């Protein structure tokens, strides 16, 4: 009796991801790097524009805030690598019927998060912790690439959905 498992199942073929979608997926992963490095610098004690008192009282640095800030940086970078699954033609951990809705959901959540972050960035309270206009400018440059992610993610998701709807799944020989 022959039992088909995921290890013995034939690979399914689909249209390859276009070059632009691959580049955009990699760009998404790179968009998270500047803010992550900024957070890690903050956790390492590098002066990033916050006073020592603000670091202690608001962010609990030094203390548990270091683990939170570094963990947030790692989590953000891992999440930014999710679109690479949408352009990978060799490794598919999830079926397209599962991955496509998950990607659309992620795109929608990213749009909402970006809008919320704009509100937070421009509130008076969030700006009072920075010690200078230069520090605010550096912070803005480090976090600005994150605002490109929702649009880029939507483009990669659209490409993925189009490829997997346009061509029915066939067995690769």
- Given a cut of 70, whether residue 6 has pLDDT beyond it is no
Q: What are phi and psi of 136, to 5 degrees?
A: -65, -40
When pLDDT is averaged across residues 50-64 and rounded to a whole number, the result is 84
Indicate the DSSP class of residue 50.
B
Chain segment 77-97, per-residue pLDDT in tens: 888 888 888 888 776 666 777
Of the chain, the percentage scoring pLDDT greater than 70 comes to 80
Query: DSSP per residue over 41-95, as a string?
Result: HHHTT--SSB-HHHHHHTT-TTTHHHHHHHHHHHHHHHHHTTHHHHH-SS--SS-
In a 3-state reduction of DSSP, which class is residue 20? helix
Q: What percentage of the chain's residues is helix, strand, coil (to nearest 5)?
A: 70, 5, 30
- Give the Cα separation of 154 and 19 in Å (integer): 16
Determine the pLDDT at residue 3.
56
Chain segment 135-149, per-residue pLDDT in tens: 888 888 888 898 898
- Give the Cα separation of 116 and 167 in Å (integer): 37
Closest to 18 (Cα-Cα) out of 167, 154, 160, 165: 160
Chain segment 9-31, per-residue pLDDT in tens: 544 557 788 999 999 999 999 99
For 53, how many CA atoms within 13 A lie in the half-sphere containing its CB?
Answer: 4
Q: Which two tokens stand for residue 30?
A: 């790179």
């Amino acid at each position: 009796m022959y039992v088909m498992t995921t290890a013995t199942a034939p690979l399914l073929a689909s249209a390859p991801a276009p070059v632009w979608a691959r580049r955009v997926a990699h760009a998404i992963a790179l968009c998270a790097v500047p803010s992550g490095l900024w957070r890690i610098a903050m956790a390492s004690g590098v002066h990033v524009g916050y006073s020592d008192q603000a670091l202690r009282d608001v962010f609990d640095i030094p203390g548990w805030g270091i683990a939170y800030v570094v963990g947030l940086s790692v989590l953000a970078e891992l999440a930014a690598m999710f679109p690479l699954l949408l352009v990978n033609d060799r490794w598919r951990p999830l079926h397209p019927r599962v991955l496509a809705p998950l990607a659309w959901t992620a795109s929608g959540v990213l749009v909402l998060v970006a809008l919320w972050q704009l509100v937070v960035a421009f509130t008076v309270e969030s700006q009072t912790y920075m010690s200078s206009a230069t520090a605010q400018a550096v912070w803005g440059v480090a976090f600005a690439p994150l605002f490109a992610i929702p649009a880029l993610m939507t483009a990669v998701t659209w490409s993925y959905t189009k490829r997997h709807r346009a061509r029915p799944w066939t067995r690769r020989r």
